[in-house]
Amino acid sequence: MEKSIDRRTVLATGALALAGAATRSEPAAAQAGPKAMFPVPAVTVPIVGEPDVFQVRRIYCIGRNYAAHAIERGSDPNREPPFFFQKPTDAIQNVKIGEVADHPYPSLTKNYHHEVELVAALKSGGTNIPAEQALDHVYGYALGLDMTRRDLQNAMAAEKKPWEIGKSFDHAAVLGPIHPASKTGHFTKGAISLAVNGTMRQNSDLEKMIWSVAEQIAKLSEAFELKAGDIIYSGTPENVGPVVKGDVLLCKLQGLPDMSIRIV
């Protein structure tokens, strides 16, 4: 009998001591469970006019979404189903409004290409989203560059291998800040262009996209469950081409501030 009481007392005292120690020293860690041994920072993008940032979950890109670019890349522009690829989230290089950001010329390539694109950022998602409701999931828009190691992409494509090495590398997702659609409206038309050292290279209009942003979201959501934080590079117009160290790229999209980088 006495032994039993003693044991309960000891257990209770020990539990209190543990609880007290946890509460006083590291309450968050105690409640959250194991910590990351090598923590990885969240990837975020500034939002224009907001103190908070947009955390990126996944980067989707659509290929060959302007007829003239589809032709220059050797495919039929007659509304073939859109195809998608991803870039790693930490490939994002944030570019501020008004700066000319240094962009490192990547390894392995001798034919490094620019692709200026409209980027849509999602605040929600789902599967099998109807195109008519797709824009309800868009939080905002940004200017982006889907930078491409074209020689590596082409070489892998020729061997029917994944061309990830041509698209998914460090700094390959150049991105301006996000502009809330509540302020800019949705982008279905408007001039989009890219100049290199003051010479126009790409010059088109969003209304020439084969698949609209709404249709891209609808199609993507058939293959993937989309979620808040997903961003979509919506494809580039024709006249993609090479850049070299020292080149200054100036991207324009009607209705948004310009975005500029220098290849270093």
Nearer to Mn ion, 146 or 238 (CB): 146
- Residue 28 Cβ vs Mn ion, minimum distance, rounded to whole Å: 41
Residue selected from 217, 236, 243, 260 as contacting Mn ion according to rule CB under 5 A: 236
AA letter at 17 = A
Q: Pick out residues in 1-30 that bind Mn ion (CB under 5 A).
A: none
- Residue 162 Cβ vs Mn ion, minimum distance, rounded to whole Å: 16
Nearer to Mn ion, 216 or 236 (CB): 236
Cβ proximity of 228 and 123 under 8 Å: yes
Query: What distance in Å separates the CA atoms of residue 227 and residue 236, rounded to the nearest whole number?
Result: 24
CB-CB neighbours of 261 under 10 Å: 23
**Residue 238 binds Mn ion, judged by CB under 5 A:** no
Residue selected from 45, 87, 134, 146 as contacting Mn ion according to rule CB under 5 A: 146
Q: Which residue, judged by CB position, is nearest to Mn ion in the bound state?
A: 146
Q: Binding mask 100-139 vs Mn ion (x if CB under 5 A, - otherwise)?
A: ---------------x------------------------
Nearer to Mn ion, 47 or 56 (CB): 56
Query: What distance in Å separates the CA atoms of residue 186 and residue 190, rounded to the nearest whole number?
Result: 11
Nearer to Mn ion, 146 or 230 (CB): 146
Interface with Mn ion by CB under 5 A: which residues? 115, 146, 236
